[in-house]
Amino acid sequence: MNRTAGKLSLLLLLTPFVLWIVLLVLLPHVQMLRISFQVRESWDSLDWGVTQYSNFFAESYYWRTFIRTGVMSLLTTALTLVIGFPIAWYIAKLARGRARGLLFLACLIPFWASELVRTYGWMILLRESGLFSSWLQALGWVDGPVEFLYNDVAVIVGLVYNALLFMVVPLVTTLDGLDDNLVEAGYDLGGNHWHVLRDIVVPWAMPGIVSGCIVVFMLTLGSYLTPTLMGGKDSAWFTQQIFTQFITRFNWEQGAALGVLLLVLSSLLVWLGLRLTGQNLRKVLG
Amino acid sequence: MIRSVPRSRVFNSLYLLYLLAFFIYLALPLLVTAVFAFNDSNFPSLPWQGFTVDWYFANAAESGNRTGLFHDQGLLSALWVSVLVAFWVTVISVALGCVNAVLFERIEFRGKEVLYLVMLLPLVIPGVILGVSILVFYSGLANEVSLRWGIELDLFRPGLPLVIGGQVAFITTLSTLIIAARLRKFDPQLEEAALNLGATPIVAWFTVTLPWLLPAIFGAAAMAFLMSFENFNTTVMLTGSDTPLTVALFNRLREGSTPVLNAVALLLMAVSALLAMATLRRSQ
């Protein structure tokens, strides 16, 4: 291929990519950032300022929800890792042949249903007239109906459930590549379960752990359905406030500022996670 | 903990118990949703009132007060909207994914590493933020144009074009990754052989490279369709008067749940399971 043809094909291939990323990702975010610094003085005059951001810090409801959402997302991520790791280990290292494929498939099945369907299933189980409440009454363990829904525990149960796949799949993939001999050598050299886990398995699985944690954290932080449907009046999620500003109150400037803050929080924590574990985004996601 | 490493019997049985509990936890919500789609009661809860297919076929106009899924105009039109959106999202994001994959796997150019990282960005942006930023940009643009020149750009108001745009924004990254992974395993010598045998680059691409990519393209298409169909976070911010199924179901759910929602849920599960099975079979 000669130079001009090479240039031309690069141009042809680059154009769709640039159109997509600029028109649908970069420009909208730049505009959101710009609007978040605009102050509407009257219907036709605008000024620049940080009013929206000072609102955020002045109004405790905003920043409390912000912190709560961050902390609960981290908790969900940690729980997902702890619950998913033994499962991934079993699928990658202990199961054989058909059982292995079937177990992996069983992990995938819930994710053929949408998040809405999964959350709905949990609501049928947990609510006052739900299955758990009925079973407990039938067993005679409680007298009246019990409400399991509309509290933080319910939200975490739902969020962990929704996130499990995104943790188990990368873990299985990385653990799969771990040579059994390394683990055996660890035991031969006198290590116990804990030593082997800490010095061999976890360092090997680190790319999978980080990738799983990042995806789960992002999904949880940005989720809207599960906290809204399963959380109570006091368990507000930050995305709900963004939604309220945009759709209900039509205060785009405030909504944009909250959106920027959520984006900053998620980017910061993802970056921190990558730095602390010495991974990079390309290795983890690409 | 490998098979050859001895473990205590107690540890083993505890591990198996944990495994069992885990899979029950996974299956339970879906199972109850499916079962209650056939409960002859107006609420999806116990006690069990007997088996019925009312929640699919009942017609309130003809008999009784129940409207089954197949007579529920609201749900049916939402279903249609979802199919329409998913179709366009699949077409656009898979086409873009193919082009991007070739760009990043086969062409060398300056700044490629940086652009690759930019390409991954939509994966680390929360869906709600992706939605609101597109809403702010395009609706703002439409307002501006309308204010200055009096031209109405309805295309940029909340509605299906924006929903499609919002979903394409992040689904394209996923389809690019799937197709690029397959292209990476392609042996360029095959293409060179075709060129040596007298094929033009375009003929070589369509007869050698494209068939090699087809499994990944089908996989990416199935993934794109499912992701689009299920998406809520981005969609809810951009939807206008035509609501896709997820948003319609969410609105219904907030009014109170009836077994017709279970019927929809079961249908969705069945269809996406079939689609997923078909892709798994193809890729094996």
- Distance to chain B for A277, nearest Cα, Å: 18
The C-alpha atoms of residue A232 and residue A123 are separated, in whole angstroms, by 12
Q: State mean pLDDT over B150-155.
A: 78
Long-range contacts of B71-77 (CB under 8 A, 24+ apart): B72/B260, B74/B248, B75/B245, B75/B248, B75/B249, B75/B252, B75/B260, B75/B264, B77/B242
- pLDDT surpassing 70 at residue A266: yes
Range of A126-135, A229-238, B132-141 with top mean pLDDT: B132-141
ipTM: 0.84
pLDDT band at A281 (very low <50, low <70, confident <90, very high): confident
Closest residue of chain B to A126, computed from CA coordinates: B29
- pLDDT surpassing 80 at residue B49: no
Q: Per the structure block, which two tokens stand in for A230?
A: 């399963």
Which chain B residues are Cβ-neighbours of A14 within 8 angstroms?
A: 103, 109
A21 with B168: Cβ contact below 8 A: no
What integer pLDDT is reported at residue B121 of this predicted model? 87
- pLDDT surpassing 60 at residue A1: no
Q: Per the structure block, which two tokens stand in for A12?
A: 């042809």
What integer pLDDT is reported at residue A207 of this predicted model? 83
Helix (H, G, I), strand (E, B) or coil at B200: coil
B5 with A184: Cβ contact below 8 A: yes
Closest residue of chain B to A240, computed from CA coordinates: B128
pLDDT in tens, A177-222: 777 777 777 777 877 777 777 777 788 888 888 888 988 998 899 8
- Alpha-helical (H) ranges within A38-196 are 51-58, 60-89, 97-108, 115-126, 131-138, 152-176, 180-188, 193-196
Which chain B residues are Cβ-neighbours of A169 within 8 angstroms?
A: none
pLDDT in tens, A230-264: 887 777 888 888 888 888 888 888 889 999 999 99
Is the CA virtual torsion A122, A123, A124, A127 positive or negative?
positive
What integer pLDDT is reported at residue B84 of this predicted model? 93
- pLDDT surpassing 80 at residue B126: yes
What integer pLDDT is reported at residue B208 of this predicted model? 85
Pick the residue with more confidence: B196 or A235?
Answer: B196
Q: Is the peptide bond before B47 cis (omega within 30 degrees of 0)?
A: yes
The C-alpha atoms of residue A241 and residue A264 are separated, in whole angstroms, by 16
- Distance to chain B for A58, nearest Cα, Å: 23
The C-alpha atoms of residue A33 and residue B259 are separated, in whole angstroms, by 43
Instruction: Yes or no: say if A131 and B45 are a contact pair by the CB < 8 Å rule.
Output: yes
A196 with B1: Cβ contact below 8 A: yes
- pLDDT surpassing 80 at residue A27: yes
What integer pLDDT is reported at residue B134 of this predicted model? 93
Range of A144-153, B85-94, B158-167, B263-272 with top mean pLDDT: B85-94
Which chain A residues are Cβ-neighbours of B272 within 8 angstroms?
A: 112-114
DSSP state of A40: E
What integer pLDDT is reported at residue B63 of this predicted model? 62
Q: Per the structure block, which two tokens stand in for B202?
A: 């375009």
Q: Which stretch of B115-119, B129-133, B149-153 has the lowest confidence by average pLDDT? A: B149-153
pLDDT in tens, B65-81: 667 677 777 788 888 99
B136 with A161: Cβ contact below 8 A: no
Which chain B residues are Cβ-neighbours of A94 within 8 angstroms?
A: 1-3
Q: Per the structure block, which two tokens stand in for B215?
A: 């499994």
Closest residue of chain A to B126, computed from CA coordinates: A222
Compute how many other C-beta atoms are within 10 angstroms of the C-beta atom of residue B5.
Answer: 14
Q: State mean pLDDT over A58-65.
A: 87
Q: Which stretch of A86-95, B22-31, B56-65 has the lowest confidence by average pLDDT? A: B56-65
State the average pLDDT for chain A: 84
pTM, rounded to two decimals: 0.85
- B65 phi, psi to nearest 5 deg: -115, 10
Which chain A residues are Cβ-neighbours of B261 within 8 angstroms?
A: 120
- Distance to chain A for B279, nearest Cα, Å: 12
What integer pLDDT is reported at residue A22 of this predicted model? 92
Is the CA virtual torsion B247, B167, B91, B275 positive or negative?
negative
pLDDT band at A165 (very low <50, low <70, confident <90, very high): confident
In percent, how much of chain B has pLDDT > 70? Answer: 85
Closest residue of chain B to A213, computed from CA coordinates: B124
Closest residue of chain B to A84, computed from CA coordinates: B22
The C-alpha atoms of residue B277 and residue B271 are separated, in whole angstroms, by 10
Which chain A residues are Cβ-neighbours of B46 within 8 angstroms?
A: 129, 131, 134
DSSP state of A127: S
What integer pLDDT is reported at residue B45 of this predicted model? 65
What integer pLDDT is reported at residue B185 of this predicted model? 85
